[in-house]
Amino acid sequence: QVQLVESGGGSVQAGGSLRLSCAASGYFYSSYYCMAWFRQAPGKEREGVAAIYSLSDITHYADSVKGRFTASRNNTKNTFYLQMNSLKPEDTSMYYCAANLETDYRTCISLRPDALSVWGQGTLVTVSS
């Protein structure tokens, strides 16, 4: 069973940067998996931020973070990252790492919460103005 553990959240002023990490443990039994970052602010729906499919080098981003956030992965370390630059107060959220261990490309890049089946516990990011 795969488990995901996020780290790297914290408080930062607007314009600052943070790097989130997601450590994955367990066995990825399929070559067709998806890794993604989501966020959820109080009173709001969970929003997809970035997703990358196992067989693709292309990362897909929500429009709200394009040009500011960069997702990457280290397959050797089984770790998924989210580099967040030029942070804004509206980026304040709980950030979650998520995975789907066997899925297709279109489902992965849809950034829909129901497309992911394994979730971390979340890490809080607070951006002050």
Judged by DSSP in three states, 13 sits in strand
Q: What is the pLDDT of residue 11?
A: 98
Q: What is the pLDDT of residue 63?
A: 96
DSSP H or E run through 127: strand 123-128
Could you tell me if 20 and 123 are in contact, meaning their C-beta atoms sit under 8 angstroms apart?
yes
Tokens, residue 43: 């009173």
* pLDDT under 70: residue ranges of the chain: 29
Q: What is the pLDDT of residue 86?
A: 98
Which residues have CB under 8 Å from 71's CB, separation 6+?
Answer: 37, 49, 50, 51, 52, 59, 61, 80, 81, 82, 83
